[in-house]
Amino acid sequence: MHAIKISAADFIEINSKKITMYKELEGFKVKNQFSLTIEDNLEEVCNATEGSGVFLVYDVAEAKELIMVGSTGTVQNDGTLKTKNGGLYDKIVNGHQFAKTGRKYSWPAQMKKEDISRLEVVWYETYNENEKVIPTFVEAQVLQNFLSENAKLPRWNVAF
């Protein structure tokens, strides 16, 4: 039997393609991911930029399951981008979900409630100097594909 050698960069690329189950996301150059356990501090582990784009949240406890899609950034009629200070990072860490409090508090509580040991968050800048794709458009495409495949939205998306 022959061993196949792949570089670390190729391994990351293969795994990122595996994570990206939606073709709409494949072309974005500014992207990354991080994991969150109940014991982690979301403010510390979140590596998202202050840019605008989308983020996907996976429950990776057993089988990898997409449980939420979110976005930040609004394109104005003159083509400029309106963002809240902090962009993706702030939306992931301080955006409200499950309660009138930031995700840095509500996600660990919800993880405990649902017995989720680890989340994986994958984020993409969709609107920057080099790319001009409306974040909510990409969010809608991913949610539509999920809806088409599963006849429902991801369980942490209340509505769209």
Under a CB-based contact definition with an 8 Å cutoff, are residues 89 and 2 in contact?
A: no
- CA dihedral sign, ordered 11, 154, 95, 98: negative
Q: What pLDDT, on the 0 to 100 scale, is given for residue 12?
A: 42
pLDDT of 132 > 90? The answer is yes
Domain map of the chain by residue range?
28-150
Q: What pLDDT, on the 0 to 100 scale, is given for residue 11?
A: 40
Question: Among 27, 60, 36, 34, which Cα is nearest to 49's?
Answer: 34
All residues at 6 or more sequence positions from 65 whose CB lies less than 8 Å from its CB, including other chains: 58, 59
Q: What pLDDT, on the 0 to 100 scale, is given for residue 137?
A: 95
Mean pLDDT of 64-69: 96
Mean pLDDT of 129-136: 93
Q: Does 139 or 80 have the greater pLDDT score?
A: 139
pLDDT of 20 > 70? The answer is no
Surface-to-core class of residue 139, CB atoms within 10 Å of its CB (0-12 exposed, 13-18 middle, 19+ buried): buried
63: pLDDT confidence band, cut at 50, 70 and 90?
Answer: confident
Question: Among 41, 45, 67, 40, which Cα is nearest to 56's?
Answer: 67
Q: What pLDDT, on the 0 to 100 scale, is given for residue 23?
A: 80
Q: What pLDDT, on the 0 to 100 scale, is given for residue 46?
A: 97
Q: What pLDDT, on the 0 to 100 scale, is given for residue 21?
A: 55
Q: What pLDDT, on the 0 to 100 scale, is given for residue 144?
A: 95
Taking CA atoms, 37 is separated from 73, 116, 121, 132, in Å, by 27, 8, 11, 33
Q: Express each pLDDT in 146-158 by its tens digit.
A: 999 999 999 999 9
Q: What pLDDT, on the 0 to 100 scale, is given for residue 42?
A: 97
Q: Express each pLDDT in 2-19 by its tens digit.
A: 333 434 444 444 344 333
How far is the C-alpha of 130 from the C-alpha of 92, rounded, in Å?
Answer: 23
